[in-house]
Amino acid sequence: MKIIKLLIQSSKLLFVLAVFSSALTGICSSFLIKMIVESINTENFNAASFQVEFGLFWVGYGVLAVVSSFAVSKLSQGIIHQLRISLSTKILQADFSEIERNQDRIFPILTEDIKTIYHGIDRLPSVTTGLATVLGVLGYIVYQHPTLSLAVLGLFLAVFILTKLSLPLTRKYQEKSRVLWNDIFKIFEGLTYGIKELSLNKKFKKFYLKEVIEKTSEEQNKYMVKESVVVAIASKSGDMVLLLGMAALVVYIFATGFVEPSVFGEFLTLVLFIIAPLSTVSGWFSNLKRIEVALEQISETGIDLEDTAHVVKPIELDEENVADDVIIDLVGVKHEYYNPDEDEHFELGPIDLSIKKGELIFLLGGNGSGKTTLAKMMLGLYPPKEGVVKYKGQSIDDSNREDYRSKFAATFVDSYLFDNVTHIDDADVLKRGEELLKTLEMTKKVRIENGKFSTTRLSEGQKKRLGLINAILKDTEVYLFDEWAANQDPHFKKIFYETILQDLKKAGKTIVVISHDEQYFDRGDRVIKLMEGQLVS
């Protein structure tokens, strides 16, 4: 079972401690049950030895139950922490295009699936203790009443089969309800980020509430209720089979005199003691299915939590002893997208492009011609499907791609401005940052405080300017600006093309600018043009 593997991976010591202490708690509880039942039927009851023995097991039960709860809660908190770290690491290590394709599914995984796994693990102490109690008491009754036990074991087997039979149906509804979570998260995203559009359109707002939110939520509720009904039917029919079986046994015993009623009474008391822990254990099976569904959702995004074998050891690119007149060389590179929803296919390339060190290149092209895709390939975010990307003559592959990416700073149309990261931690960077804030006329709005910008509550154009400062402060060899100037007013466009880009060029930086501002193209060294995924000039 995957979850057990993850638990062991989390901490072997805690896992062993949790299992042992829970099992010992169960054994103590079965001894306590046995002592109570036996004392009722003992003619020469020795109160003194009963008190000592009972006291020992009673204390043992209490101490071990606390130890097992502590171990399991440390283990479950640890695994949640590790899952978050491991998922975040895997997301950052995973193939960028895979994550980009599954972007909508990442947030539900980080919240919903982790919660499901946590709740599954959280119940482990009662499940292990329950299982140990059931096995302990069962062992005792089999030893004491072998014939009678056979009938009860048969009944338990029937209960187990009933639970097992219901599992595929339970899982089906769990899967359906979990898949709908992805839609619900997307709906909430729309509700949060699309609040302007919703607020401005009465009809759309009503539609979104009634037809989108209510319908999806109702559909999910439907599957959750179905799942609960299946679980309830399975567990209640198990109880009914058990009760019916017991009643049949009572009738049979009284009719045949098969065993003494007092013996049967003791036997029955023992059996009744294990019904509750048995139901805890069988109930956990449906929980286990929910964990499986959650883990499957995680692996469907291309993230394998157990896979450590495929992490390639990163190596750094050589910066010395290399001819660096051509800094980036794209040789016959290709990329393609396939949109299954529209059965649409987009192909970029094959593209050959050599960029010299210190060049300022403008990349032009119509909407959808593939400029951003080419930029992502140049930045090493998309490994080419065919062809090769070279940096100073060195081919880029899985081992050096991370170092290659670090040679770039970029701004995208949809760049994200982190407001919780301290990165201006050096006096020179701070000085440069303050100069840039001045150049881009942001000093009245933003200051640099404690290594970061004082605010990100800005207009879209201002946010873009802050993003540009962030990129420049990275002080990398190559810069790529994807339509940075698109939403800037003419004044800031001029600052960008005539001051910022020229300063970077003077500092020997290589720059690729995706732009439609043809009036500034004479400030660059070269203009290249994309049309329908092909370089035409």
Residue numbers of the site for ligand ATP (CB under 6 A)? 100, 337, 339, 346, 365, 367-373
**Residue with Cβ nearer ligand ATP (297 or 372):** 372
Collapsing DSSP states into helix, strand and coil, what is residue 11? coil
Cα–Cα nearest to 282, from 72, 131, 443, 403: 131
**What is the closest distance, in whole angstroms, from the C-beta atom of residue 245 to ligand ATP in the complex?**
59
Q: Which residues contact 273 (CB under 8 A, 6 or more apart)?
A: 33, 37, 133, 137
- What the block records as the tokens of 30 is 């079965």
For 424, phi then psi, to 5°, come to -95, 75
**What is the closest distance, in whole angstroms, from the C-beta atom of residue 377 to ligand ATP in the complex?**
10
**Residue with Cβ nearer ligand ATP (311 or 531):** 531
Rounded to whole angstroms, the Cα distance separating 236 from 214 reads 32
Residue 529 belongs to what H/E stretch? strand 526-531
**What is the closest distance, in whole angstroms, from the C-beta atom of residue 349 to ligand ATP in the complex?**
12
The CA-atom distances, in angstroms, between 191 and each of 40, 100, 186, 195, 417 are 65, 21, 9, 6, 21
Rounded to whole angstroms, the Cα distance separating 144 from 468 reads 80
Q: Which residues pair with 452 in a beta bridge?
A: 449
For 348, phi then psi, to 5°, come to -110, 130
**Residue with Cβ nearer ligand ATP (149 or 373):** 373
**What is the closest distance, in whole angstroms, from the C-beta atom of residue 375 to ligand ATP in the complex?**
8
**Residue with Cβ nearer ligand ATP (257 or 340):** 340
- What the block records as the tokens of 320 is 């010395």
**Residue with Cβ nearer ligand ATP (368 or 490):** 368
**What is the closest distance, in whole angstroms, from the C-beta atom of residue 483 to ligand ATP in the complex?**
7
Collapsing DSSP states into helix, strand and coil, what is residue 404? helix
- Helical segments of 194-214, H only: 195-200, 202-207
**What is the closest distance, in whole angstroms, from the C-beta atom of residue 339 to ligand ATP in the complex?**
5
**Residue with Cβ nearer ligand ATP (263 or 486):** 486
- What the block records as the tokens of 205 is 């707002």
Q: What is the largest CA-CA distance in the chain?
A: 109
**What is the closest distance, in whole angstroms, from the C-beta atom of residue 101 to ligand ATP in the complex?**
7
The CA-atom distances, in angstroms, between 217 and each of 62, 112, 194 are 43, 15, 19
**What is the closest distance, in whole angstroms, from the C-beta atom of residue 363 to ligand ATP in the complex?**
9
**What is the closest distance, in whole angstroms, from the C-beta atom of residue 385 to ligand ATP in the complex?**
13
**What is the closest distance, in whole angstroms, from the C-beta atom of residue 511 to ligand ATP in the complex?**
18
**What is the closest distance, in whole angstroms, from the C-beta atom of residue 516 to ligand ATP in the complex?**
8
Cα–Cα nearest to 178, from 88, 119, 108: 108
Q: Which residues contact 496 (CB under 8 A, 6 or more apart)?
A: 468, 484, 485, 488
Q: Which residues pair with 344 in a beta bridge?
A: 339
Q: Which residues pair with 535 in a beta bridge?
A: 530
For 335, phi then psi, to 5°, come to -145, 150
**Residue with Cβ nearer ligand ATP (192 or 339):** 339
**Residue with Cβ nearer ligand ATP (321 or 339):** 339
**Residue with Cβ nearer ligand ATP (296 or 532):** 532
Contacts 24+ apart (CB under 8 A), 393-396: 393/322, 393/323, 393/326, 393/329, 394/317, 394/318, 394/322
Rounded to whole angstroms, the Cα distance separating 105 from 121 reads 23
**Residue with Cβ nearer ligand ATP (102 or 406):** 102
**What is the closest distance, in whole angstroms, from the C-beta atom of residue 337 to ligand ATP in the complex?**
3
Q: Would you mind telling me the total number of residues written for the chain in this entry?
A: 537
Cα–Cα nearest to 381, from 137, 183, 82, 97: 97
**Residue with Cβ nearer ligand ATP (75 or 377):** 377
**Residue with Cβ nearer ligand ATP (7 or 348):** 348
